[in-house]
Structures are given as C-alpha cells and as structure tokens.
C-alpha cells in the first residue's frame, strides 16, 4: 500500500478563524501515529451507524485495526466497507481532532501482518502481542482479522486559537 499523500488540502472558511491556515498533512499523520484510542464508525446491514472505540496503528499510509470475525464491526464490514475513524481530544479550547474516511480493506499478507504485529507491540506494549497465522492475527482473544483504511478524505479540526477545519482529499 503506497503512503497516503493528499492531492488537495483546503481550509474551510465557514469553520475557521480568519487568521487560520490549513494544517499540514504531516501534522495529521503525527496525531494519527501518536493517538492511543480511535473511534470506528461502520454501518450495520440495516443502515444504522455503529460506533466503537479501538486501538489502531498508522503504517504505510493507512490506519490499521483488528477485530474478531464475529464482532459487530467485522460483520458490518463484510456488507459495507465504508468507515470513518476519529481521534483527538475531548476539549473545546485546545487540541486537534482528525477524522479519516475510507474503505476498510482486509490485510492478509503474512509479511505485512508480521510488520503490523510488531507495530502494535511498539505502540501499545507487550500486552498487544499477536502471532500471525492463516492471514490473520492470533492472540489471547483468539483470531483477529486485520483491516487497513487508507484515507479518501480526511479532516483536521484545530481547536483553540485559531480554530480551523482542514480537508485533505486523496
């Protein structure tokens, strides 16, 4: 998967202070790399949204997360791969929130999965160690399918002074 680089970066003046500037994609990537918790929004088969917190790693231009094959999010993804992943702070006057919109694509290449398993340990510690077998992670919780979400559109929300909304298109 090639590294994600936006083809367009814009600041939305409707949601930005007059002195605000569009944030650099590198700032968003730093936030995605460092964030511990993400919120995944997927779509249930009947069209209702499903939102759940999870951990994820940024690697090779995409966010990666894992889930058990029988979990609600995995069942949702089998019918509709469109998702949004959100991370940031729960404050109004400071911080920077990032939203990634894209499609969750299953990762099954074992060399890639081994690299991602190492990235989980590097980021979250030894409690998040996975073996790789049969195109999936295997851990204490059993089998976990791994998904990559390369951004199609991303938003950055700068809070505080100056506030601003940046959109990146890929």
| Ordered structural domains, the chain, with CATH | 8-169 (2.30.110.10)
Looking at the predicted structure, is the pLDDT value of residue 98 above 90?
yes
Q: What is the mean pLDDT of residues 30-47?
A: 97
Q: What is the mean pLDDT of residues 150-154?
A: 98
Short-list 147, 142, 151, CA closest to 77: 147
Average pLDDT, the chain: 96
Looking at the predicted structure, is the pLDDT value of residue 56 above 60?
yes
Looking at the predicted structure, is the pLDDT value of residue 139 above 80?
yes
7 cis-preceded (ω within 30 degrees of 0): no
Q: What is the mean pLDDT of residues 127-131?
A: 97
Using 50, 70 and 90 to split pLDDT, how confident is the model at 41? Answer: very high
Looking at the predicted structure, is the pLDDT value of residue 99 above 90?
yes
Short-list 169, 127, 156, CA closest to 30: 156
Looking at the predicted structure, is the pLDDT value of residue 53 above 80?
yes
**Cα end-to-end span (Å), the chain:** 14
- The pLDDT assigned to 92 comes to 92
- The pLDDT assigned to 4 comes to 74
Short-list 154, 152, 150, 163, CA closest to 10: 154
Looking at the predicted structure, is the pLDDT value of residue 88 above 70?
yes
Looking at the predicted structure, is the pLDDT value of residue 167 above 80?
yes
Strand partners, 148: 64, 105
Specify whether the CB–CB gap between 87 and 39 falls below 8 A. yes
């Amino acid at each position: 998967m090639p590294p994600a680089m936006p083809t367009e970066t814009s600041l939305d003046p409707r949601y930005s202070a007059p002195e605000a500037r569009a944030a650099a994609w590198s700032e968003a990537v730093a936030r995605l790399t460092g964030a511990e918790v993400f919120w995944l929004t997927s779509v249930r088969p009947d069209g209702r949204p499903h939102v759940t917190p999870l951990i994820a790693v940024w690697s090779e231009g995409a966010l990666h997360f894992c889930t058990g094959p029988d979990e609600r999010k995995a069942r949702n993804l089998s019918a509709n791969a469109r998702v949004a992943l959100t991370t940031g702070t729960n404050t109004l006057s400071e911080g920077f929130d990032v939203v990634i919109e894209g499609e969750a694509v299953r990762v099954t290449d074992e060399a890639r999965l081994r690299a991602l398993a190492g990235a989980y340990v590097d980021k979250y510690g030894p409690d998040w160690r996975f073996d790789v077998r049969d195109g999936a992670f295997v851990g204490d919780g059993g089998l976990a399918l791994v998904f990559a979400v390369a951004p199609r559109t991303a938003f950055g929300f700068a809070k505080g002074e100056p506030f601003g909304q940046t959109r990146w298109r890929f």
